[in-house]
Amino acid sequence: MERQISLINNEDFDSLDKSKKSKIYFLAMQDLKSNPLNRIYEKEDSKEDLDELIESIKETGLQQPLTVSKSDEGYVLLSGHRRMKALTHLFKQGIEVRYNGLILAEDNVPVIIQYVCKTKEEQFRALVASNCYRHLSKETNRKLIAEAIKIYNKQLSSGKTGSGRIRDNIAKIANVSGRSVQRYVDFGKKGEPVKMKEEKKEALSSSEQILKKLDSMIRTISSIELDDYGNLDRKIIREKLRQLSFLLSEKQ
């Protein structure tokens, strides 16, 4: 059930920006659904980031409401997946959390309903718009473009693609540069569905190759249990290890 913010449930209501007063609601966390497309952004957030956010909310309170879209499926998170995790952790620990003077609870968290989405395409566009502030890795850009291609191809099959270059239409959906799209997309023939280029593995540098081999050697040596071998084998293994030790000392 939506409860628009009011003087009754928030002592510091007047300190809120006027433009936000009509947009902030308090909803139960169980009514908020994680956006499945948020998996695209998840690798941008580390455990250290989450721990830091938990400490920040514990000390200074929740600074920003969660942002959601409203659809037939209910309320879907657009911005605030980490805040949601942090709040869940703090509530489970029984730690008091405040927002603008109000004590929060699992059935009483502030949200802004930013969009009303009727389709998955609208949901994706809303999620992208809500994360436009992020500096994204190449891997995340690639995932965004892959999702945008699905939308573009769907538009293509229904004859609803926009005018202009294909790459620019896809870039607009994913909110990335046209150059990024050019890098990752195989456009094929005009009028046919586009697809992602096969990802090429970058060749390892000579130092990376050496380090990879050394890591493999360390794992092998660490797993050796000499008692598992006969006398002759143990003697050979020890000799090889002595040779390796000598070579390493010579390289220093």
- Confidence check: pLDDT of 88 > 50: yes
Count of CA atoms in the C-beta half-sphere (13 A) of 234: 7
Find tokens 């059930």 and name the residue: 1
- Confidence check: pLDDT of 97 > 90: yes
Give the CATH number of domain 3-121: 3.90.1530.10
pLDDT digits (tens, 9 = 90+) for 40-77: 877 666 788 889 999 999 999 999 899 888 877 788 88
**Biggest alpha carbon–alpha carbon distance for the chain:** 85
Across the range 198-224, mean pLDDT stands at: 77
Q: Using the Cα atoms of residue 68, residue 70, residue 74 and residue 76 in order, give the sign of their dihedral.
A: negative
Across the range 205-234, mean pLDDT stands at: 81
Residue 77, pLDDT score:
87
Across the range 155-162, mean pLDDT stands at: 82
Q: pLDDT band at residue 3, thresholds of 50, 70 and 90?
A: very low
- How confident is the prediction for the chain on average, in pLDDT? 81
pLDDT digits (tens, 9 = 90+) for 111-142: 988 778 878 888 888 888 878 777 778 888 88
Across the range 159-171, mean pLDDT stands at: 84
pLDDT digits (tens, 9 = 90+) for 171-185: 999 989 999 899 999
Of 125, 93, 124, 90, the closest CA to residue 109 belongs to 90
Q: pLDDT band at residue 201, thresholds of 50, 70 and 90?
A: low
Residue 190, pLDDT score:
78
Q: pLDDT band at residue 98, thresholds of 50, 70 and 90?
A: very high
In angstroms, rounded to a whole number, what is the distance separating the alpha carbons of residues 170 and 151?
8
Of 244, 143, 57, 184, the closest CA to residue 66 belongs to 57
Residue 204, pLDDT score:
66
Of 67, 87, 65, 63, the closest CA to residue 128 belongs to 67
- Confidence check: pLDDT of 7 > 60: no
